[in-house]
Amino acid sequence: MACSEKVVLKGGVVASLDALRLGWDLENRGFRLEPYGDRLKVTPHTELTTQDVAAIKAHRDELLTLVKYEAPEVIQ
């Protein structure tokens, strides 16, 4: 994952496209990502590959920001 493209979400949250794709991939494969204090909880952790673990470590802060993210209400 060597992409450095950034995505700006409503409310000004910025994340890399790599982190978004990783989160989507994990969720599509049945993993659940949750904030656990200042840590990221991924379950079932026993099913993660070594590549998954490395990617999660590389993008942990962004993934944590994304799972805590709540889109602001849009007033039209």
pLDDT tens for 31-65 read: 999 999 999 999 999 999 999 999 999 999 999 99
> What distance lies between CA 51 and its chain's CA centroid?
15
Residue 26 Cα distances to 10, 16, 36, 76, angstroms: 23, 16, 17, 34
pTM of the model: 0.86
Q: Provide the angle, in degrees to the nearest 10, between the axes of the packed helices 17-28 and 60-68.
A: 70
The percentage of the chain sitting over the pLDDT mark of 90, rounded to a whole number, equals 78
What pLDDT band is residue 1 in, cutting at 50, 70 and 90? very low
Alpha-carbon gap, residue 56 to 60, rounded angstroms? 5
Tell me the domain boundaries of the chain.
Answer: 6-68
Q: How confident is the model at residue 12 (pLDDT cuts 50, 70, 90)?
A: confident
